[in-house]
Amino acid sequence: MKKPASAVLAGLLGLAQEADVNAPRAAIQVHVVAVGKNPGSIDTGLRFFPERIRAEPGSLVQFQFRAGNHTVTQSDFDNPCVPVSSIDPSVAGVFSSFQPVAGAAGAVPVFTVLVNDTRPIWLFCSQGAHCQKGMAMVINENAAANATRSLETYKRLAQKAPTGQGVPSRCGDGSAGPAASSGYLPTTAAGGNGGGGGGGALVTPAAGGTNDTADGLPPAATTPPPPAVSSPALVVSGAAHVAVPGAMLLVLGGAFMFL
């Protein structure tokens, strides 16, 4: 007797779930940075939480915009508060665009950066004089190699930087540097689960590695590895995605072909 298509699909989905459990997952570390407010405390203001991240190549740093209207913009150390693309037009640099939290309708705007090597990545908020007032951070600070190239020194230099130069003349397009993208994370994700990036991605606890997040932030996420890139950092989709084993995709593909 021929089984109904729905029964066949249900059986194959059951096999897919078994494959999902048993198949190895390719996952990378995601570090969470809150922008403007630490949701786990009463700390708010012109700050990133935390201001320092140690991220291995291939890991992600996800910026969650929690208050105000801020940006994540890349500079070099010697020109704080100035987009790196304004100094070197061949480098697109990281730029999240402005993220007004009040207009996000109960969601948290997110912006995720893929770290491609261990060179320091200097980041600041380009809103008004926020950078000059200390809203800056660094990924992979290397003060051990040169003690003067620290976040504290960057902030001191930033106090003297001119205002009005914080918006890049160009953004990443994926060819000469990072390609900008952003998304949203529902506020319910603070408990550990939630979607984002317009695709309903699930945020789950990260597997392995170090997670340099501020206390009380949503946990890091498990995500499939992105393609290799040549720039120091590359912006990928707004929210992290759950790794799906290839075996599960094969089983699901077989189900639709069979039907």
Q: Are residues 194 and 107 in the same domain?
A: yes
195 and 117 Cβ atoms separated by less than 8 Å: no
Place of tokens 């012109």: 46
pLDDT at 37: 95
154 and 81 Cβ atoms separated by less than 8 Å: no
Q: Are residues 50 and 153 in the same domain?
A: yes
The pTM for the full model equals: 0.64
Q: Are residues 84 and 3 in the same domain?
A: no
Q: Are residues 14 and 133 in the same domain?
A: no
d(CA 139, CA 194): 26
Peptide bond into 4 cis (omega under 30): no
Place of tokens 């600070």: 141
pLDDT at 164: 84
Range of the domain at 13: 1-25+244-259
pLDDT at 71: 97
Q: Are residues 76 and 199 in the same domain?
A: yes
pLDDT at 166: 74
d(CA 85, CA 62): 22
Region for 225 from its dihedrals, namely left if φ exceeds 0, alpha if ψ lies in -120 to 50, beta otherwise: beta
Q: Are residues 53 and 12 in the same domain?
A: no
91 and 31 Cβ atoms separated by less than 8 Å: no
88 alpha carbon, distance to own chain's centre: 24
Return the closest-CA partner of residue 217 out of 234, 192, 198, 196.
192
152 sits in which H/E element: helix 151-158
Q: Which two tokens stand for residue 87?
A: 């100094």
pLDDT at 242: 29
Q: Are residues 1 and 74 in the same domain?
A: no
Could you read off the pLDDT of 156-170 as tens digits, one per residue?
Answer: 999 999 988 878 865
Q: Are residues 10 and 136 in the same domain?
A: no
**Per 3-state DSSP, what percentage of the chain is helix, strand, and coil (rounded to 5)?**
20, 20, 60
Which stretches of the chain score pLDDT less than 50? 5-21, 172-181, 186-215, 219-231, 236-259
CATH number of the domain to which 47 belongs: 2.60.40.420
Q: Which two tokens stand for residue 7?
A: 């029964």
pLDDT at 185: 54
d(CA 181, CA 172): 9
* Count of alpha carbons within 13 angstroms of residue 140, beta-carbon side: 17
Could you read off the pLDDT of 209-242 as tens digits, one per residue?
Answer: 333 444 455 544 333 333 333 345 555 433 333 2
* Number of compact structural domains in the chain: 2
8 and 254 Cβ atoms separated by less than 8 Å: no
Which residues are paired to 234 by β-bridges? 114
pLDDT at 47: 97
Q: Are residues 61 and 188 in the same domain?
A: yes
pLDDT at 168: 81
Q: Are residues 184 and 258 in the same domain?
A: no
d(CA 235, CA 256): 34
Q: Are residues 163 and 249 in the same domain?
A: no
pLDDT at 129: 96
Q: Are residues 178 and 217 in the same domain?
A: yes
Cα dist from 40 to 33, 178, 190, 199, 241, whole Å? 12, 30, 9, 26, 23
